[in-house]
Structure formats: C-alpha cells, structure tokens
C-alpha cells in the first residue's frame, strides 16, 4: 500500500474487491504501459495492440454487458473509479483518453442502438480489435451541442452526411464514429446519432497536434457525401440529443475522478522531490511554506474526491442529478489546476523540463477545464437547473 492509493482503505465506498482490481490493473500498467509511455507521447498515438492487451487484462470490458464480451458481474461504479486511478499512475492523461475512448463512443450504441448493431459493434470493441470514438464537437461550436451543423439527409436506405467534426479523440485510429448529425430542424429536436464507418468513401481526417494528451491521437474529420446505412441510426431519428446528454454525465464524473487521480500523482512527485531536495541547509520539506503548500494540495484533493465518491454513490442509488456533475467537474478541474501549479512551484526549474510527471500534468490542465463542457457552460447549466432561467 502506498500514499498513492492509501486513501481508499479509509473510505466506506471501497472494499477488498476494489483493491484486488487496483492491484491487477497496476500490474498491467507497470508491465505494458509505464516502460513505453514516453515513446508513445513522442509518437502522438497509442499502438493498436495495446487495446487488445488491455482487453485481455479485463480493462476494456470492465462493467460492460457479458453478452457482448464485457465483465459486469460483481463490479460497480467504484471499480470504474479505481480503474481511472490506476491508469493515471504514469501521469499521461492521453493514455486514458485514447485507450478508453470506447467509454464515450460505445454507451450510446448499447443504450439506444438496435440489437443487430450492438451485436456487430460491441464485441470487437470490447475485445480490443476495433476502436470506436465519439464525434460531437464541430469547428464552429463546442459546448453548444444543440447548434451543431453536420447534416444527414435521408436517401432511400441510407443517410448522406456532410460536415465536419473537430478535436475528436482517437479520431485518426477510430474504425467507427458515434456521430451527432442534424436530421431535422434547428435546435436539440433535430439531432440524431449515426454510427459512421471511418473507412467509408468521403471521410477524410487531419491529425491535430496538441499542448497535452500527446499520446492520444486527435483529429479533425470531414464528411463529403458520405453514405451511411439507415440501419446505423442509433435510437430514433431526431432523438439523439437525450443520448448525448446521458453520455455527458458519466463523462464528467469520469473526468472529475481523473482530475483527482492526476492531482495525487502530482502531489506524490512534489512530496518526493521536497523530501529529497535540500535548500538552505535542510530538506525542502523542512521549510514551513513548502509544508503548507503540500497540505493545502492534499486538502483540496481529498475534498474533491469526497464529492466524486458521493456523486458516484448517487448514480449507484439512482439519486443523481445533472447539476451535480456539472458543478463537480468545475470543482475538479480548478482543483487540478491549483495542485499542478503548486507542484510545479515545488519542483522549481525541474518542472519546466520535459520528463517529469508534473510537467506533463501541468500541460494537460486546460483540456480538462474545456473538454466535456467548459467551466462557464457547466456553471450556467447548473445555475439553470438549480435556480431557473432560460437560455
């Protein structure tokens, strides 16, 4: 047991089964990921066979239906949080973003898709043989999902898709894209979800370079008269917006847990440095100002983790509400920003040189604060739900 995960032993939400999963995933990370993560960061993507290895280790299919190749029996939402924690140990957010991209691409298919579509898509994804991504954001708009413009016009037993998607995680390697398109009029009521095969004629992709999440391939995707079988419609036509919103809640909870996990990594590296480094004749941690920084970092992490666990319990009990996920995401991203900054201050010049986990985490603060719904959008969403008001 280390400081990295010791907090779970004092929580009412975690038991021996969660620790067993943690140890299993930790061994997988140490064996298959940690030795290679720096190279993957340079490469700008993960190797496809990592998905297969992760599936064999039980990582990809955790809490997905057994009927489609997943592992759901005996697992709860807190096992998912443990998985997020252990994948964060290498200090590279792009790892989870890309390796677990099915976590946002596959749920709409399983929740709303036809049985034929589920049987064809889910098993190879959960076996790590295929990669599925989610396409919502567009060049002309991010968090304003109801204003998306990519169109899908019905033509016999196909839809013809035209438009573009932007900042798509795993967009360069994805085999399938769960894509939000406009099949009806303006606003949320005209949006549908389509499963698009990424090797279809008319699909083009452009790789995007980024400040952080560098081992996660990110793409701009363009559709020019792409013909998509009508059987690839996920849920009812013009009924896709609710599926998108349902997806967002779990994504925001997962991102909040990720912020806690990466903040703990940054704290651990800063604490180790403070105990090893000597300044003015004593350990860095011997200075009161440094101890105050470390304690305040721990305070903010623990407070945020408590809220994450509460929201997870509310999901488990069916007592959750969207406003909580929105506010939690803001709390978590602002906490990570503070912890990453303070960790960098403690490391000093060493934090500005590539190679430390703190340096990498510091560069990934912004993607957490913007992706999955920006802080401003999140607080406005919560304000409208809790206190009323119109758009």
Spatial CA neighbour of 13 closest among 84, 96, 59, 81: 81
297 in Cβ contact with 344 (< 8 Å): no
Spatial CA neighbour of 170 closest among 211, 205, 195, 127: 205
Residues 6+ apart with CB under 8 A from 359: 344, 351, 352, 353
Indicate which residue of 138, 251, 342, 359 is catalytic: 251
CA distances in angstroms from 191 to 149, 245, 369, listed in the order given: 9, 12, 26
SS3 (DSSP) at 355: coil
- Distance, in Å, from the CA atom of 339 to the CA atom of 290, rounded to the nearest integer, reads 13
Residues 6+ apart with CB under 8 A from 303: 335
- Distance, in Å, from the CA atom of 247 to the CA atom of 111, rounded to the nearest integer, reads 10
Residue with tokens 């590539």: 354
CA distances in angstroms from 114 to 117, 177, 178, 235, 389, listed in the order given: 5, 16, 14, 8, 37
Structure tokens at 157: 């037993």
Residues 6+ apart with CB under 8 A from 64: 70, 71, 72, 106, 110, 122, 126
Q: How many residues does the chain have?
A: 391
251 counts as catalytic: yes
213 in Cβ contact with 262 (< 8 Å): no
Kindly list the catalytic residues.
Answer: 251
């Amino acid at each position: 047991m280390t400081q990295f995960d010791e907090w779970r032993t004092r929580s009412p939400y975690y038991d021996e089964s969660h620790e067993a999963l943690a140890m299993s995933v930790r061994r997988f990370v140490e064996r298959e990921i940690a030795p290679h993560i720096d190279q993957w960061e340079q490469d700008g993507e993960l190797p496809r066979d990592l998905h297969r290895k992760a599936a064999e280790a039980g990582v990809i299919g955790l809490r997905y239906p057994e009927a489609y190749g997943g592992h759901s029996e005996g697992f709860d939402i807190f096992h998912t949080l443990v998985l997020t924690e252990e994948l964060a140990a290498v200090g590279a957010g792009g790892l989870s973003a890309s390796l677990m991209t099915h976590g946002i691409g596959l749920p709409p298919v399983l929740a709303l898709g036809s049985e034929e579509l589920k049987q064809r898509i889910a098993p190879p994804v959960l076996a790590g043989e295929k990669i599925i991504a989610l396409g919502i954001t567009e060049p002309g708009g991010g968090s304003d999902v109801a204003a998306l413009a990519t169109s899908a016009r019905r033509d016999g037993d196909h839809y013809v898709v035209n438009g573009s998607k932007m900042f798509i995680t795993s967009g360069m390697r994805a085999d399938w894209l769960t894509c939000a398109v406009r099949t009806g009029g303006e606003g949320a009521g005209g949006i549908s979800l389509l499963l698009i095969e990424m090797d279809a004629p008319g699909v083009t992709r452009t790789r995007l370079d980024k400040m952080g999440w560098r081992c996660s391939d990110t793409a701009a995707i363009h559709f020019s008269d792409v013909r998509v079988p009508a059987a690839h419609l996920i849920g009812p036509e013009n009924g896709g917006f609710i599926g998108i919103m349902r997806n967002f809640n779990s994504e925001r909870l997962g991102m909040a847990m990720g912020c806690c996990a990466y903040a703990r990594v940054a704290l651990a590296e800063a604490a180790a440095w403070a105990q090893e480094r000597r300044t003015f004749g004593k350990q860095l941690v011997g200075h009161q100002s440094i101890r105050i920084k470390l304690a305040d970092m721990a305070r903010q992490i623990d407070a945020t983790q408590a809220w994450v666990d509460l929201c997870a319990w509310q999901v488990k009990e069916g007592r959750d509400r969207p406003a909580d996920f929105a506010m939690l995401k803001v709390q978590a991203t602002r906490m990570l920003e503070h912890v990453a900054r303070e960790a960098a201050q403690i490391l000093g010049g060493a934090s500005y040189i590539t190679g430390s986990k703190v340096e990498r985490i510091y560069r990934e603060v912004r993607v957490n604060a913007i992706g999955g719904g920006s802080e401003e959008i999140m607080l406005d969403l919560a304000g409208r739900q809790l206190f009323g008001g119109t758009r």
